[in-house]
């Protein structure tokens, strides 16, 4: 009889445990996952980011190629220097416009840059700056504007395309290029105003954490690439400046004059010592300008070298601060978004945790009671049957 009771208790315990597991596993309230509130970029914006950044690389290659052609085709040092300044300014500007965190903003700003390029090359400013070969840059500017326009038409819906095209034409005409550094201004506020939305509404998300980190990596990469190119172009410009300031021809002419005078000096010293004093005075008159010119040229070259080094250091410092600022801003936004997501998650699941705790407590207290009750009932029933 005891064997039968033990057997019944064993099976009852297993059945209660199995039932508890089924209850816990089937309770829909306990089925929840930890999800972040970060919104990934929509597919069209992600495609926009990829397309604009790919276009920037083509843009950079084309501008460098046409600028190098101009440099090779002219012997005018000023035109060469202007062509170097042109490619330095616009390639750096294209990196700033295309690698923004907001894809549509990057598209519009790059579109504006291409239109500004075409417009300035059609003006007298572009003709004077680049020279007769400005037509090459003008043609390339038209091609690049057509290319970015086609990219925008492909990526955007018809109504959105018309709105942004209207903004690009208006903004480019109201903000023409006046410096070939191609300085950029933040167009978020004027674009939001043109579209009739608030700045905060226009930028709804910068993407998920993984997308934000990928964006930071891309921007660090393009900054490093641009720094390398800028250093190379600074070296090229400095070489041209140095060649233009080279006093070698004048120096050689004066050296020949001095050599002739020394020959005469030796002849006079041998045949007419009384004229030696006059020759010494004349040689002093010839030598002093040469010495002064050499000293002046050396001082000027050293000053230029120091000035170039200072300008390059300032440029590198500015780029480094800009990159650090971008990384910090993106990181702070990610941290803020993650913190808000965690707080929201805790609020969402707090009542579920409380409910689960209550269920577990009830089950832990009720199972032994029910088990004892039914076992006692079964035992008394067995005794009544025996009696």
Q: Tell me the percentage of the chain whose pLDDT exceeds 90.
A: 30
Nearest-angstrom CA–CA distance, 339 and 329: 15
Residue pLDDT, tens place only, 143-197: 999 999 999 999 999 999 999 999 999 999 999 999 898 999 989 999 999 988 8
Phi, psi of 228, deg, nearest 5? -60, -45
Q: What is the largest CA-CA distance in the chain?
A: 164
The vertex-265 CA angle with 263 and 269, nearest 5°, equals 120
Contact 40, 208 (CB under 8 A): yes
- Band the pLDDT of 23: cuts 50, 70, 90: very low
State the pLDDT at residue 136.
92
Between vectors from CA 362 to CA 356 and to CA 365, what angle results, nearest 5°?
Answer: 140
Q: Tell me the two tokens of residue 111.
A: 């579109």
Residue 240 token pair = 């041209």
Burial 347-363 (b: 16+ CB within 10 A, else e): eeeeeeeeeeeebeeee
Tokens of 265: 């000096």
The two tokens of residue 191 are: 């674009």
Give the separation between CA 331 and CA 337, rounded to whole angstroms.
Answer: 10
**In 3-state terms, the chain is what percent helix, strand and coil (to 5)?**
85, 0, 15
Q: Which residue has the higher pLDDT, 160 or 29?
A: 160
d(CA 181, CA 228): 17
- Location of structure tokens 């295309």: 98
Which pLDDT band holds residue 200 (cuts at 50, 70, 90)?
confident
Lowest mean pLDDT: which of 40-49, 79-88, 174-183, 351-360?
Answer: 351-360
In whole angstroms, what is the distance from residue 344 CA to residue 238 CA?
A: 58
Model pLDDT for residues 115-138, shown as the tens digit of each residue: 999 999 999 998 899 888 889 999
Q: Who has greater pLDDT, 237 or 17? A: 237
pLDDT at res. 69 = 93
> Rounded to an integer, what distance in angstroms lies between the CA atom of residue 367 and that of residue 357?
15
Note every long-range contact of 40-43, with CB atoms under 8 Å and residues 24 or more positions apart, other chains counting.
40/205, 40/207, 40/208, 40/211, 41/103, 41/205, 41/206, 41/207, 41/208, 41/211
Q: Count of CB atoms within 10 A of residue 182's CB?
A: 21
Given the structure tokens 């970029």, which residue do they identify? 41
User: What are the tens digits of pLDDT across the range 328-379?
Assistant: 665 566 556 656 665 665 666 566 667 766 777 766 666 666 666 667 666 6
Burial of 117 (0-12, 13-18, 19+ CB in 10 A): buried
Specify the pLDDT at position 275: 54
Q: What pLDDT, on the 0 to 100 scale, is given for residue 47?
A: 93
* pLDDT band with cut points at 50, 70 and 90 for residue 228: confident
Indicate whether 18 pLDDT > 60: no
pTM of the model: 0.59
Residue 286 has a pLDDT of 56
- Looking at residue 2, its pLDDT comes to 42
What local confidence, expressed as pLDDT, does residue 226 receive? 83
Give the chain's end-to-end CA distance (angstroms, integer).
13
Pairwise CA distance, residues 143 & 335, whole Å: 42
């Amino acid at each position: 009889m005891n064997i039968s009771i033990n057997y019944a208790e064993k099976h009852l315990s297993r059945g209660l445990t199995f039932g508890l597991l089924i209850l816990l596993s089937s309770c829909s309230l306990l089925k929840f996952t930890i999800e972040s509130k970060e919104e990934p970029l929509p597919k069209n914006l992600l495609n926009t980011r990829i397309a604009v950044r790919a276009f920037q690389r083509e843009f950079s290659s084309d501008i460098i190629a046409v600028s190098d052609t101009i440099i090779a085709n002219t012997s005018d040092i000023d035109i060469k220097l202007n062509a170097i300044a042109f490619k330095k300014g616009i390639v750096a500007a294209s990196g700033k416009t295309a690698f923004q965190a907001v894809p549509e903003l990057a598209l519009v700003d790059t579109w504006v840059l291409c239109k500004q390029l075409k417009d300035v090359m059609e003006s007298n400013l572009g003709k004077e700056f680049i020279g007769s070969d400005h037509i090459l840059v003008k043609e390339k500017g038209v091609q690049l504007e057509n290319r970015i326009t086609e990219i925008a038409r492909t990526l955007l819906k018809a109504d959105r395309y018309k709105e942004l095209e209207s903004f690009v034409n208006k903004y480019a005409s109201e903000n023409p290029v006046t410096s070939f550094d191609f300085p950029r201004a933040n167009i978020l506020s004027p674009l939001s105003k043109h579209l009739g939305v608030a700045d905060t509404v226009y930028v709804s998300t910068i993407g998920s954490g993984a997308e934000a980190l990928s964006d930071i990596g891309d921007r660090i990469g393009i900054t490093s690439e641009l720094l390398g190119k800028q250093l190379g172009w600074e070296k090229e410009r400095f070489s041209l400046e140095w060649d233009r300031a080279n006093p070698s021809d004048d120096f050689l002419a004066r050296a020949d004059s001095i050599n002739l005078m020394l020959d005469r000096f030796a002849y006079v010293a041998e045949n007419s010592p009384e004229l030696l004093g006059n020759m010494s005075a004349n040689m002093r008159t010839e030598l002093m300008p040469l010495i002064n010119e050499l000293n002046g040229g050396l001082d000027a070259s050293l000053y230029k070298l120091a000035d170039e080094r200072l300008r390059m250091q300032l440029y590198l410092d500015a780029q480094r601060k800009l990159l650090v600022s971008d990384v910090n801003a993106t990181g702070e936004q990610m941290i803020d978004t993650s913190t808000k997501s965690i707080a929201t998650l805790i609020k969402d699941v707090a009542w579920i945790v409380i409910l689960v705790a209550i269920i577990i407590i009830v089950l832990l207290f009720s199972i032994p009671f029910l088990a004892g009750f039914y076992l006692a009932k079964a035992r008394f029933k067995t005794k009544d049957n025996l009696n």
